[in-house]
Structure formats: structure tokens, C-alpha cells
Structure 1
């Protein structure tokens, strides 16, 4: 009987002993980008000189000195990730959502047909032969000899686009590498989509895109939220100002304005301290960057 009472007391004591709390894991910080580099991002490739989002435009951007080629991604009905800015295409004189057509149908389009507006000396004579390409072909063609700046367009329209993108990047051995600058950057206007990528693969630097109708500005809450997963912000160039750039830098966020084609604007933005620009003219941006570097060498021999 005494043994039974003793057992009951022990059980009671053990049951009432407070459990030691498990140490909570620390949140994973966003993967940063190099702060001192001024990145030249070929907007849809060198899209001032060749139809955007074609292999020719991307190749030209690389030859012109772009640090990254920018790829907008949509997803076709049969699950192909295609390099395309618009979510709607015109087939058989009717507009159709990319999500409702197959990749073979997309191939009927000629992106070079509309590309004859600027008549620049670099314009390719065979632009009508260019075709829209899928991400897999781009990654196979360029491999790891270029850097990729990828935007997920309208991700809510394409369920699973994040997983498919990461699958292809892994398949081509473009993640978790030790390169001077990250091989891949992913951007989106969708914070939900970026957060999903961050949860799946936190090693990729992420850029949150914004488009402001007035001067660029983020509230304290917006800043707190974006710094949890992003390395920087992409902002329409019309809204960029010195105060905004300084504020982003104080929060360890880099600033990449889009889309900058004017040489004087490039010089102004560099003097403001932006960390890179999206441009249709990588050759112009490279000249501006080289001029700045040369001037700095002369000032500080």
C-alpha cells in the first residue's frame, strides 16, 4: 500500500514538473547582395537592339557587358515557363491568356515583327526569325556563363510557378554556389510569392518590386515586412529620390531602379548611390560605369 502511495506521489510530481521550453530557432536572414557593386541588368536582354526575351537579345546583353540578363516568366497551359513580359498574347487575331495556350502555340508568335521602331545600328536583320523561348532553353544555352535576374510575373495566375522555377535552377546547378556575385536573383511584385521562394530556398537573394505613382516611399510596417526576406527593392525610376535610396540603405536594402536608358539619368543615379539599374542599353550603362570608375581612380591614385 505504501509503495502504491509512493508511486502515485512520484507520478503526480512528474506530471506537475514544468516542461523545459525548447529553444526557438532563429529566423533565417535574407541572403544579401554585394553592396559596392553597380549592377548592369539587361532588361529583357539588350532589348533596345533586339526583340526582348529572345536568345539574340540575351546574347547581345552579355556581349555588351551586362552583369545579369533579366527574364520575365509566364507559365503556359502545358506547364512551360516562358520568357515573356505580357500575360496575354494575340493568336489568330484573338487575345488569349498565356495560361490558356500551349508552348507550341506560343511558338507561332514572332516577337521580332513589332520590333522595328528605333532603327538602331545594332538591330538584327533577321529579327523576324526570332522566337519566344522557354526558361529551360535559356538555361541550357547559357549555362553558368551568365547571371540570371528572374521575375515571376503574376504568380497567383500560375500555381506552382515557384516550385517549377526552383526545380529548373537546381537541375542546372545554379543554386548554392560560391560565385563573386550570386548566379541567380529572383524578383516579383508579389510579396507572397517571394516569401514562398524564401521558405523553399533562402539562399537566393530576393528583390521586392514596387511601382509608385509619386515619390517612392515605404511605411515602417512595409519596411519591417520586406527586410524579413528581401535583399533589396526594384523601383520605377520616375519615383526614385535621394531620400528613398538613403532610407533603403539604412535598412540594408539595395536599390535597383527600372528602366533606365538615358545616359544622364544613369550618371545621376550612380551619384545618388543606387546599386544597379535595369536598362535596355547595357552598352551605354557599361560606358557610364567605366567613366565613373576611371574618374575615381584619377581622384584617388
Structure 2
């Protein structure tokens, strides 16, 4: 089961910062998940529409000049990173899930992401683009069919693969509160991967692994890797006895 660090190792470091991303990889996460906004000065990594929670400042992210955003402390002296800076700390053979929070110019967004990837060590095969706005995802895949798409949802739809089919998606990314075993079996049987967010409890990690999900998004990647290692050891022990 693939372990993505949700906004980096966000239990141990400020979310969506280079510190959180580097820590996640030092904890052996398979990949990182992070949120992006298309600011007038480029793609920046941040979760909220406003600055209050993360920067203890007033105002909206997109209404604030980049020169000002660069000065804000979002925890432990960390600054808001750009997409280029974020991709620059992802090691070879690791994954990243780019969740889009704001997008205006799809063509410019695709070109900017491609340019950032060309300067990083990441293979396009290890990039997953997701959003709750499936119109954005459709526009992206029309321009960039090579990129993997994650159909993000917080709902267990009556037809749980309809969006994935419409987007020719790689995966369905579903909320933990909405998923069950039947959902996982249905999505996998129809040829899509299943990722579940946000999974921080060992019991839930074990359950999802038993169901065969492709991966999880977690704030505690170190714990998740330990749980999966313990599970693998237990299976090996049973196999040796048989």
C-alpha cells in the first residue's frame, strides 16, 4: 500500500512546507500530497484561501502580492513554497499528488507544471493531479493526456466510477468517511486505483490494506510505514509456518 504524506509530514512539521516534505521522505514516505493555487506570479503551495490560520495574517492568499507572501512565516520559520521549490525536494522514484485548489488559465498551468517537472528528478509516471473540481481535471487531461488524474471526491456516488471514466482517470481518491469494502472492490474491478484520505489511525490503515487499496494519504507517514512493515512481517511469519 503506497503511503503519501498529506501536506508532507504535517503532524511533525508545518503543513505544505519544504520542511514537512523533506521530513516525509526521511520517514520513508512513498510520496507527498500538497495543495496548489495559481497565483498571478506562478503556482504556489498552500491550502487555505485566507492567510489567517497558517500565517496569522489578514487577507486572501490570491489578493496578496507574491512579494508579501514570501515574507510570511507559516511555522518554524518556513515560507510558502513555490511548485518549483517543492518538486525540487522530491527524490527520484518518489511520487507526488498535486491537488489543485485554484485554477484560472489551464494552458498556462499545464505549461508551468511541465516546466517545473523538467527541472526536477520526478518522472511524469509518478505525478498524480487531483481536484474536487472535475471540470479543471477534464481540461487538463485534454491538454496533457500523459498525466495521471485522480478523481477526488468526498462522496460515495451511486455510480462510483462515473467521474473516473469521464476523466480517463488513474485513480479515485475518496474520503475515509465515505469509503467501504464494496466501494474499493468495485473501483478496483473496473480498472482504477483507489486512494483514501486522510488516514491517521493504525486500525484504519490495517483495514484499508486488507481491502486492497492502492494507497493512503496520512499526516503521520512514519507511523503508517511502521504499521505496514509490521503487517508484512506478520504475513511472512504466517507464510513461513505454512
Q: Do residues 201 (structure 1) and 164 (structure 2) align?
A: no
Secondary structure of 1:227 counterpart: helix
Aligned CA distance change for structure 1 residues 256 and 139 (closer, same or farther; 3 Å): same
Q: Do residues 130 (structure 1) and 78 (structure 2) align?
A: yes
Indicate the structure (1 or 2) with the bigger Cα radius of gyration.
Answer: 1
Aligned CA distance change for structure 1 residues 218 and 175 (closer, same or farther; 3 Å): farther
Q: 2:58 aligns with which of 83, 94, 112?
A: 94
Aligned CA distance change for structure 1 residues 167 and 45 (closer, same or farther; 3 Å): same
Distance in structure 2 (CA, Å) of the matches to 1:158 and 1:298: 51
Distance in structure 2 (CA, Å) of the matches to 1:150 and 1:296: 33
Residue by residue, what CA displacement relative to the aligned partner does 1:81-103 show, whole Å, maximum 9, x if unpaired?
1110112224895322x222222
Give the 5 Å matches for 1:252-291: 252-291=191-230
Q: Do residues 85 (structure 1) and 65 (structure 2) align?
A: no
The CA deviation at 1:109 is 2.1
Residue by residue, what CA displacement relative to the aligned partner does 1:61-118 show, whole Å, maximum 9, x if unpaired?
001111011121012232x21110112224895322x222222211232211xxxxxx
Q: Do residues 54 (structure 1) and 54 (structure 2) align?
A: no
Q: Which moved more, 1:40-49 or 1:244-253?
A: 244-253
The CA deviation at 1:235 is 1.0
Distance in structure 2 (CA, Å) of the matches to 1:291 and 1:89: 40
**1:244 corresponding residue in structure 2:** 183
Cα RMSD between the aligned structures? 2.3
Contact 1:77 1:101 in 2 (8 A): no
Q: Do residues 296 (structure 1) and 235 (structure 2) align?
A: yes
**1:217 corresponding residue in structure 2:** 157
Distance in structure 1 (CA, Å) of the matches to 2:135 and 2:121: 25
**1:144 corresponding residue in structure 2:** 92
Residue ranges of structure 1 left out of the alignment (5+ in a row): 1-37, 113-126, 177-181
Residue ranges of structure 2 left out of the alignment (5+ in a row): none
Distance in structure 2 (CA, Å) of the matches to 1:283 and 1:161: 32
The CA deviation at 1:40 is 0.1
Secondary structure of 2:224 counterpart: helix
Distance in structure 2 (CA, Å) of the matches to 1:287 and 1:243: 27
Q: 1:188 aligns with which of 86, 106, 131?
A: 131
Q: 1:109 aligns with which of 56, 60, 72?
A: 72
Aligned CA distance change for structure 1 residues 136 and 291 (closer, same or farther; 3 Å): same
Residue by residue, what CA displacement relative to the aligned partner does 1:131-181 show, whole Å, maximum 9, x if unpaired?
1111111223446364221111132588843332233223436445xxxxx
Secondary structure of 1:278 counterpart: strand
The CA deviation at 1:241 is 0.7
